[in-house]
Amino acid sequence: MHNPMSGVFRWSAASPFAPLVIVYAAACLVFGGGTRAGFAGDVVLQLAGLPLALWAIWRLLDVERGEGRGRGRGVLAIAVCGAVLGLHALQLIPLPPWLWSLLPERRAMLDALEIVGIEPGWLPISVSPRATWLSAIAFIPSVAVLLGVMQLDLKDRRVLSLAILLVGLASVFLGLLQLAQGPSSPLRFFEITNATEAVGFFANRNHFSALLYCLLLIAAPWMLLVAAQIAAVGGRLQSREALPQLLGLIGTFTVFMMLIGAQTMARSRAGLGLTIAALGGVLMMAYLGPRPRTVESPARSSRRRSISRLDSWGVTLDTRRPIPGSRLRAASSSETRNTTGPVPSRDRSGRRSSPFSEIAIRCATLLPRVTRTGYGNSSGVQYVLNEASVQLR
C-alpha cells in the first residue's frame, strides 16, 4: 500500500531552484509580518526575491516551444505580473502642467502652489511617488513566489505544503506563548501590535487569522488522503501495514483541530467567518474527492489469480458440490463422473479433512484437464504450489 509521506521523506531536488523557492516562501511567512514599510525583514525579503524572480522568469521563457501549454501558462503569469508593475510605472511618468492639471483633485494643489509662488512643472500622476515606488518594490516577493511555485512538480509542492504547515504550527505555538506571557511578552516582535491577542509572527491579529484559515485548506487534503487510504485497507486495520496510515490520520487530524482552535486565540471576527467558509471548502473536497479503492489481501489476490488461471484452462465453477475450504468447484458433472479419485468428505467424527488431503484431491481432479489442454507440467505445478500456499496460511 502506497504511503504518500514516503516520497516526501526521500525528497531530493535535482536543481537548487525548488529548495530556494520553498525556503523563500517559508521565510516570507516568518519575516514578512510587518504592517508598515521600513522593517529590516521586508527589505531583506525584497532584495532576496529580486534575483529569484528573475531566475523564475528566465526558466519560464526557456521552455521549448513544443511544450506549448507550459510556455503559455508561463507567459500569461509573466504578463499579469508585468501589468501590475506597469501600473506602478505608469503612475510615475512625468506629465506636462497643462495635462497634469486636468487630472481629478489637482485644482487644490495648483491653488496651493500659486499661493506660495511656485510655478508647477512636470509632475507624475501619483500624488506620492515615494509611496508608489515602495508599493512596486513590495510586490517583488509575491512575483518570486508565484512564478517559482508554478515550476514545482508534485513532489516539490508536497514538500512546500508541509513546510508552510510547519511554519503555521510554529506560529500557533508562538501565539500560545504570547498569550501566556501577557501584553508585555518579549515574543511580540513588533512594537505596534495587538497586545491582548495572539499574533504569531505577524503584527496584526487579522493577518495571523488569515494564515490559519488558509492553512486549513492545505492541511485538509493530507487528512483526507490518509483517511481514504485507511478506508481502502478495510478489515486489515489491526495489521502492522496499516500503522503508518493510522498515525498519519491522528497527526493530520490533530493539526487540523489545532488550526481551528488557534482562531479563538486570534479573536478576529473576519477570520472566524472566513474559517467557516474554509470548512465548507473542506467538505466540498471530501465530497468531490476520489473514492477509496479497497485493497485486496495477498491471500485473496493469489486465490483469485489461481481461479482465473483455471478459467483459462476451461475449468468452470460448479455451485452444486463445493470442495471444503475453497471456492474451487468441479469442472462439470461429466468431468466429475469421468474423474477417478477420492471425493472430499468428512471423517467418522464429522470433522473436515485436512488441507493436505484437499490439495491432493484437487490435484487429482485437475490433472487430466491440465494434461489434455497441453499446458504441461510447469503450469500445473505452479498452480498446485499457489493453492498449497493459500491453504497452509
Interval 122-131: pLDDT, tens: 888 888 889 9
Check the CA dihedral 262-268-274-276 and report its sign: positive
Domain match, 137 and 204 both: no
What separation in angstroms does the CA of 254 have from each of 22, 165, 261? 24, 12, 10
Please state the rounded mean pLDDT for residues 279-289. 89
Domain finish residue from 272, 295, 318 = 295
Please state the rounded mean pLDDT for residues 164-182. 94
Domain match, 202 and 216 both: yes
Domain match, 207 and 326 both: no
Give pLDDT, residue 301: 61
The answer to whether residue 311 sits within a structural domain is yes
Domain match, 160 and 244 both: yes
| pLDDT at residue 135 is higher than 50 | yes
Asked whether 225 and 4 are in contact (CB, 8 A), the reply is yes
What separation in angstroms does the CA of 330 have from each of 353, 355, 368? 17, 17, 12
The C-alpha cell 509572527 sits at 201
Mean residue pLDDT of the chain comes to 77
Domain match, 180 and 285 both: yes
The answer to whether residue 2 sits within a structural domain is no
Asked whether 263 and 201 are in contact (CB, 8 A), the reply is no
Give pLDDT, residue 53: 94
Q: How many CA atoms lie within 13 A of 324 on its CB side?
A: 15
The answer to whether residue 370 sits within a structural domain is yes
State which residues form the domain around 257.
153-295
Domain finish residue from 248, 264, 295 = 295
Domain match, 142 and 173 both: no
Quick one: cell of 231? 478506508
Question: Which residue type occupies 228?
Answer: A
Domain match, 111 and 188 both: no
The answer to whether residue 83 sits within a structural domain is yes
Domain match, 165 and 102 both: no
The answer to whether residue 8 sits within a structural domain is no
With bands split at pLDDT 50, 70 and 90, how would you rate the model's confidence at 329? very low
| pLDDT at residue 312 is higher than 60 | no
CA distance 386 to 109: 93
CA distance 175 to 200: 5
The answer to whether residue 17 sits within a structural domain is no
Long-range contacts of 48-54 (CB under 8 A, 24+ apart): 48/24, 49/24, 49/140, 49/141, 49/143, 49/144, 49/145, 50/140, 50/144, 52/20, 52/21, 52/24, 52/144, 52/148, 53/140, 53/143, 53/144, 53/147, 53/148
Please state the rounded mean pLDDT for residues 322-334. 42
| pLDDT at residue 237 is higher than 50 | yes
Domain match, 59 and 122 both: yes
pLDDT > 90 fraction of the chain, expressed in percent and rounded: 36
Give the count of domains, the chain: 3
The answer to whether residue 373 sits within a structural domain is yes
The answer to whether residue 222 sits within a structural domain is yes
With bands split at pLDDT 50, 70 and 90, how would you rate the model's confidence at 340? very low
Domain match, 126 and 38 both: yes
Please state the rounded mean pLDDT for residues 191-209. 90
The C-alpha cell 491453504 sits at 391
| pLDDT at residue 137 is higher than 80 | yes
Domain match, 226 and 288 both: yes
With bands split at pLDDT 50, 70 and 90, how would you rate the model's confidence at 321? very low
Give pLDDT, residue 331: 42
Domain finish residue from 152, 177, 194 = 152
Domain match, 147 and 93 both: yes
